[in-house]
Structure 1
C-alpha cells in the first residue's frame, strides 16, 4: 500500500470517527433544537415529535422514523374565538422522513439552508379549514413563511420536496356548509422551493417554488344528500403549466330511476354524468387552493354523457328550480371561466308522466359546443354581462341541430335568448318524446328545415318558429280505454285541422308561435322542450282549444257508436226471442 493510500484511508477513518463523535454529543441538542424551533416558529401552535433519527454529517443526510406534527387544538380554538390565528390547521404522521444533501458549510457560513431532497413517505395528513365571518376577524391572516424561519435562517432552499403514497383528510367548518373529504392516494412534489425576505412579495401561483405538482388517484365522495356518489379518476395539477386535469368523472346516482323518486317522494330530476378527460388551462392554482375559487382561461370536457330523468308525479311538492345562469350568479363559490369547450359528448332527457308505463326520451348525440364568459364576479359581469353558448349536435341521431344561447347575467329575472336551426330529418324520429309528453304520434312526415328564435326568463318564454315540412300525418294518443275515440279524433285532426304541408301549395309559409308559461319546479330541459313544442303544434295547426274540441267530438262519435251498438244488440235479442217463440209453437 502506498503512502498516499494510507493517508487517504486514515483521513476517511478520521472523518467517520469525528462524524460519530459529533453526532453522539450533538444529536440530543439537535433534536431539542428542532423541536424548539418548530414550537417557537408556530407561536406554540405545533409540536414536533419522532421516534428515531439517524444522521450522516459527511453526506448531509438524515433519516427520521415515526414523525408526528401535532397541533394544540385548544390553543387554536381560543385563537379563532378571538378572530385570530390561521384559517388552516394541520396534523401529520409519517412512517419515514428522509433528508438528503444538507449543505452544512453554507449553513454555518451564511445561515442559508440548502437541501437537495426532503421525502415524506406514506404520511397521514389532516387539514382543517375554519372559516370566520370577515367582520369577526381581528385582522386578515397573512401567511408569512419567511417570518417563521427568520429567527434562525436567512433563507431556505429545497431542490425537491416529495410526498408519496399519502392519505389526506380535509375538513371545512365555520360560516359555510361543512365539508369532509378523504383522499387515500395522495402525491405531491415541488421543485425549487425557495423562501427568503422577498417571499412576502411573491404573488405568483407557484407557492414559493418553481413547480408544484399534485396528484390524487381514485377519489370517491358521497354527496351530503346521500343520493349521489362522485368518482374522480386521477387528478393532476401543475403550477408551472397552470394546468389541472381529471382523466374521468362520474356523478353516480345511488338508486335506479324509479327507486330514486320513491325515496325522494317528490318530483325531482335524477342526473347521471360521465366524462372522459377534463383539462383546465391557465388555471389559477393559488385562488383554487387558498380561496376555493375556480378560475381558468379554458376548460375542455371530452366524451361526456349526461342523462336527466324526471318522473312527473307531484308537481306542487317540488321546490322552485332556479335557471342555471341565476344559480351561477348566486352560487356560494367564485367562478370565472373564459372558455368552456365540450367535445364528442351527448345528452339525454327522459320524462315519464304519472300513470304512464312509457318514458319519453329526446337524445342529443355528437354534441360539441363552446361557452364563453362564464363568470359570477361582479366586476366581470359589469364589463361583459352575457354568457354565450354555441352548440352543435345531432337530434335523435338523424337531425343536425345548431343552437345559440345568450344568458344575461346582469338581469335578475333570468332573461335569456335562444336561436336555432334543425336540418332535414324524418319527423317520426321525435315520436319517443312526443308520445309520452304530448300524447301525439307522427305517422309520417318529412322535416325539410326548422328555424326558431325565442326569449325567456324565469316566468315565461315567447318567440316564433319557421317549420318547413311535407306529408305530415299524426295520431292523437289517449289512454288504452279510449283507443277507439282517439282513432276518430286522429282521423278528424288529419282531415279537418292538420296542415299536412308547410308552406302549403296555395300559400305562404305559416309561422308558428312559441308561447309557454314556465312550470317553475321543472328543469331547464323541460322548459325549453315544452316551449318548442308550442311552436311545433301551432305550426302544424294544433292548438289546445282545437285539440279539446276534437277530443269532444270524438267522445260524441263514440257515444253515438255505443248507442248504435246498444240498439243493435237489443234488436238481435228481440229477433232471437221471436225465433224462440216460433220454434216453441211448432
Structure 2
C-alpha cells in the first residue's frame, strides 16, 4: 500500500514538473509568437496606419493570463500624409496609451484547436486617448474600394474573438477638430470614471445580431462632471454626470446646463442686436428605449420615451438694441423638425415642472419686466420626421399645463400637421381663474402702466393656423377690470393727471366686464393675417391679442369712433389728445413687450 502511494505521489510530482516546464517553455516561445501575431494584426487591420508598442509583456499560458505594461497604439504620421496625398486618408486618427492591460484566462485550447481567442476578462487602467478629426472633402464623395470588412481581416488571424467582460477605469479623452488646412476649429477634453463591457463576440455572425452594439451585449459608461465652452465664445454647456447603458437602452444626464459665460451687457454689446440670451438648466434628462445601433450606424435618433424633469428656461432680451427682421415663414417648430439633417423618432417626450421666464430691459424706462410660465408640465407625442411613421399618423401633439405668473392655470393642446406644405397646426386651450394685476410685473416696469383691478374668470381659445393666417374663436370672461396710468408730461412742462387718463380709458375705451354692463357677451372671432417677420410664438400671441381686444369691446370701429369723440371735445382738447394717443394703441402697448418673449 505504501508503494502505491509512492507511485501516486511520484506521478503527481512528475505531472507538476511537466506542467511547470511546459508553462515555462510556452511563456518563452509563445511570447514571441503573440508579439508577432499582434503586430501583424494591428498593421493589417489598419492598412499600415497604426503600430503597437509596450514596455513589458508577461504571459502565463498555464493560467491563461497576459499583462501589458504601458501599451500604446500610435498613428504613423508619414503613412497618414501619404494616404492624404493618395486621397485615402480617413477623417479620424487616434492615439491611445494604456498604463496596463490585463488579460485573464484566455483559452489556449481554443487558440490551438481552431484559432479562436476566448478570454474571461480584460482589465484596462489609465487610458489616455487622443482623437483628431480632420475634414477631407474627398471623403464626402469617395467610394471605398476596399470591400474587405473588419471581420474578414480579423478572420485571417483568429476564427473568432470572445471576451466575457471588459472593465476600463480612468479614461482621459481629448478631441481636436481641424479643417482641411489643419487649422484647429474646436477641441475639448474629459475624463470618464468607468466603462464596463460584457459579452463581446466577433465572428462572421455577430455583426448581424440585433442585440449587439459594437459586437457587445452591454456597454455601461459613467462620465463625471463635464464642461465645454462653445466655439461662439458666449456659452458653456455641460452636466454633473452621465450614465449610458446599451443593455437597458438608456441614457441619463444629471444637472445639465447651457449657460452664458459673459455678463449680459457684454453679450449684447458684442452681438450689437436684440438677440435673446439663454440660460437653460435641467435637473435630469432621461432617454429610454434608444436604438443605439441605428444611432451609431445611421446617426438616426430613435427612442421610446424622453423625460425632462425639473429645471428652468430663462430668456433675456434688451430692447435698447435693434432687432434684425428676418422672414419667419416655414420656421414653425414642426417645420424645423422636418428639416433636421438626421432622422428622429421619439414616441413621447414628457416635461415635468419646468419654469419658463422671459425678462426684457425696456428702452424707454430703462427697467426690466418679466413674464413667467411656472411649473410647466405635459407630453409631446409622435415627435418624428420619419415619413414612413407619419404616413400612419401625421400629427405631432403637445399637451401642456403651466401657471401664468405663478397664478392662472394655462392649458393648451397643439396639433401639428407634420406633412402639411402650408405648416398647418391647431391649438386649443385656456386660462383658469386669476387676478389680472399679476401682469403688473411686466407692465409697470416696461410701460409704466398698471392694472388696478380685475378678475379673470375664464379664457378659452380654439385656433387654426398656417404659415400665412390664423383663424378661430376666443372667449374671455372677466369683471372689475380697471387700469391705472401715470401722469402725462406735456410739451409745455405741465402734467395731465393720470387719473383723468385712466378715467377715460376705463369708462370709454374698455369694457370693465364680459358680459358688459348691458349684459352683452362679447366673443372674439379671430382672422389674423401673419406678418412674415413674426416668429411662430409671436404670431400665436398676436392672434390671441386680437381675441382679447374684441372681447374687451375694443373693435377697430369703436376705437376709431372713440378717437373722433375725444378729438371733438373742445373743453378737454389737450387732455383728450393725450388720452386718444394712449387709447389708440393701449392694448398693443400693453402686450408689446410680451411679443418679445414670443420672438425667441
Same fold by TM (over 0.5)?
yes
In 2, Cα distance between equivalents of 1:55 and 1:436: 77
Could you tell me whether the CA contact under 8 Å between 2:395 and 2:418 is conserved in 1?
A: yes
* Secondary structure, counterpart of 1:325 in structure 2: helix
Q: CA deviation at 1:526?
A: 3.9
Correspondence for 1:508: 520
Is the aligned partner of 1:465 residue 2:474? yes
In 1, Cα distance between equivalents of 2:473 and 2:106: 75
Q: CA deviation at 1:499?
A: 0.5
Correspondence for 2:232: 225
Q: CA deviation at 1:302?
A: 0.6
In 2, Cα distance between equivalents of 1:399 and 1:53: 71
Residues 34-64 of structure 1, C-alpha deviations (whole Å, 9 max, x = no match): 1122112322232111111112222111111
More displaced stretch, 8-17 vs 363-372? 8-17
* Secondary structure, counterpart of 1:261 in structure 2: helix
TM-score, normalising length: structure 2 = 0.83
- Which of 306, 319, 330 is the aligned partner of 1:312? 319
Is the aligned partner of 1:379 residue 2:388? yes
Correspondence for 2:345: 336
In 1, Cα distance between equivalents of 2:148 and 2:285: 31
Q: CA deviation at 1:508?
A: 3.4
Residues 169-212 of structure 1, C-alpha deviations (whole Å, 9 max, x = no match): 3456679x966443222532211100112134334452222212
- With over 3 angstroms needed to count, the CA separation of the structure-2 counterparts of 1:460 and 1:173, relative to structure 1, is farther
Could you tell me whether the CA contact under 8 Å between 1:346 and 1:363 is conserved in 2?
A: yes
Output aligned runs, 1:126-165, within 5 Å.
Answer: 126-128=130-132, 136-139=141-144, 144-165=149-170
Could you tell me whether the CA contact under 8 Å between 2:272 and 2:322 is conserved in 1?
A: no
Correspondence for 1:252: 259
Q: CA deviation at 1:299?
A: 0.3
Correspondence for 2:370: 361
Is the aligned partner of 1:124 residue 2:128? yes
More displaced stretch, 103-112 vs 317-326? 317-326
Could you tell me whether the CA contact under 8 Å between 2:522 and 2:550 is conserved in 1?
A: no
In 1, Cα distance between equivalents of 2:147 and 2:442: 57
Q: CA deviation at 1:451?
A: 0.4
- With over 3 angstroms needed to count, the CA separation of the structure-2 counterparts of 1:143 and 1:491, relative to structure 1, is farther
TM-score, normalising length: structure 1 = 0.85
Q: Structure 1: state its 5+ residue gaps.
A: 563-586
In 1, Cα distance between equivalents of 2:565 and 2:446: 17
Correspondence for 2:115: 111
Correspondence for 1:262: 269
Q: Structure 2: state its 5+ residue gaps.
A: 578-600
Could you tell me whether the CA contact under 8 Å between 1:82 and 1:138 is conserved in 2?
A: no
- Which of 178, 196, 207 is the aligned partner of 2:203? 196
Q: CA deviation at 1:73?
A: 4.7
Could you tell me whether the CA contact under 8 Å between 2:308 and 2:352 is conserved in 1?
A: yes
Correspondence for 1:573: none
Correspondence for 2:598: none
Output aligned runs, 1:362-441, within 5 Å.
Answer: 362-435=371-444, 440-441=449-450
- Which of 522, 542, 546 is the aligned partner of 1:534? 546
RMSD between superposed Cα atoms in Å: 3.5
Could you tell me whether the CA contact under 8 Å between 2:488 and 2:496 is conserved in 1?
A: no
* Secondary structure, counterpart of 1:164 in structure 2: strand
Q: CA deviation at 1:477?
A: 5.6
- Which of 466, 474, 494 is the aligned partner of 2:506? 494
Could you tell me whether the CA contact under 8 Å between 2:37 and 2:157 is conserved in 1?
A: no
In 1, Cα distance between equivalents of 2:339 and 2:172: 34
Could you tell me whether the CA contact under 8 Å between 1:83 and 1:132 is conserved in 2?
A: no
Q: CA deviation at 1:479?
A: 7.3
